[in-house]
Amino acid sequence: MSSGMRLRGLMRKEFLQIVRDPSSIAIAFLMPIFLLLLFGYGVSLDSEHIPLALVVEQPGADTADFSAALHQSRYFDTRLYDNAGAAQEAMMAGRVNAIVVLRADFAKQLRQPDGAPIQLIVNGVDANTARIVSGYVQGAWGKWLEHYALQRGLTPDVPVRLEQRVWFNGELRSRNFLVPGLVAIIMTLIGALLTAMVMSREWERGTMEALLVTPLSMSEVIVGKLLPYFILGLGGLVLAVSMALFLFGVPLRGSLWVLFAASALFLVTALGMGLLISTVARSQFVAGLVALVATFLPAFLLSGFIFDIGSMPPVVQVITHLIAARYYVAILQTVFLAGDVWSVILPNALGLLILAAVFLGLTWRNARKRLE
């Protein structure tokens, strides 16, 4: 009975502090809004409007036709140059990302049996974009050749026809998988960073010492911190999910309750990480740094939120299994874009459960009612 009184007192204090301290409100609500707007609008992994230099050494009907095809594509912003030197300068200056050169004998070569060669020079500094550009140009070239052959009543020289169907994210919008991943990052922030900071704040201000000399048990201290930030975290989740659905139009193909159950589970894991950090770090500065390096950065880089885990080196792939956000990102992307696919959700939920147990267990073991 008096344990209930102690917990209630502790939690009421925590809520009052949350309400009065702008920094925890900022982390819980402003940070998600900022991150979602940044990634939803500012960052796009789709390559569109790539600046492309088109060098036409001798204009003619065929070159005009091809350059019109490039112009129409939403992937390219084509600029015309009449010699390769000027185009190269533009590439050096970073004004264009690739150069397509149509030689003077383009029209003649086109009518030869083995077709016309075009030259493609790609800025390879960013290997990823370079690959995408080269693929897009090849695609545009192939499509134009096919079109060209059909116009002239010839059979296009295509032995196998590729029919593409994109599943889950039909429009190939990067926003559709970035936003669910972001929810995981936000939950990590609220869960780990905030708990680690508010715990170390108690050490720093000397209030922990006063708490510890009351009849409060260590498990009450842990629960008293877990519950308020669990509720705050769910608030952040509702905000992030609403923004995803209504502002960014990300489809939710699975069910809402699965989304919330998985989020609650992840939140407990993240809170566990934060509490574990706070058993070691006694100043807000150290706690903040440790939380960023140990939870936020790995969640960003190793969770599959942006970088596909399948294409990481095998050693790194093994390490990702220690990152709680990895399981949560997998569940979120599935629930948002595919539906309640239990064969994905259940193993990942199990991973979260194990990590939560490990973190909270370690916290339990480390947290003593002593000052060191």
List residues near another protein by CB under 8 A.
2, 5-6, 8-10, 12-13, 16-17, 20-21, 205-207, 209-217, 369-372
Query: Shortest distance, CB of residue 276 to another protein, whole angstroms?
Result: 21
Contact indicator for 107, 62 with CB cutoff of 8 Å: yes
CB closer to another protein, 163 vs 372: 372
Rounded CA Rg of the chain: 28
CB closer to another protein, 41 vs 285: 285
Longest dimension (CA), the chain: 94
Query: Shortest distance, CB of residue 251 to another protein, whole angstroms?
Result: 42
CB closer to another protein, 28 vs 335: 28
Query: Shortest distance, CB of residue 13 to another protein, whole angstroms?
Result: 5
Query: Shortest distance, CB of residue 43 to another protein, whole angstroms?
Result: 36
Query: Shortest distance, CB of residue 226 to another protein, whole angstroms?
Result: 17
Q: Is 234 exposed, middle or buried (0-12, 13-18, 19+ CB in 10 A)?
A: middle
Query: Shortest distance, CB of residue 9 to another protein, whole angstroms?
Result: 2
Residue 99 main-chain phi, psi, to 5 deg = -125, 130
> Across-strand partners of 87?
none
Q: What count of other Cβ atoms lies within 10 Å of the Cβ of residue 268?
A: 21
CB closer to another protein, 292 vs 367: 367
The amino acid sitting at 363 is: T
CB closer to another protein, 223 vs 234: 223
Concatenate the DSSP letters of all residues of 97-127 into one string.
Answer: SEEEEE-TTHHHHHTSTT----EEEE--SSH
Place of tokens 């991973």: 351
CB closer to another protein, 22 vs 159: 22
Considering only CA atoms, which of 2, 92, 94, 98 is closest in space to residue 47? 98
CB closer to another protein, 44 vs 219: 219
The amino acid sitting at 48 is: E
CA distances from 278 to 22, 191, 234, 264 (A): 21, 12, 21, 21
Query: Shortest distance, CB of residue 234 to another protein, whole angstroms?
Result: 23
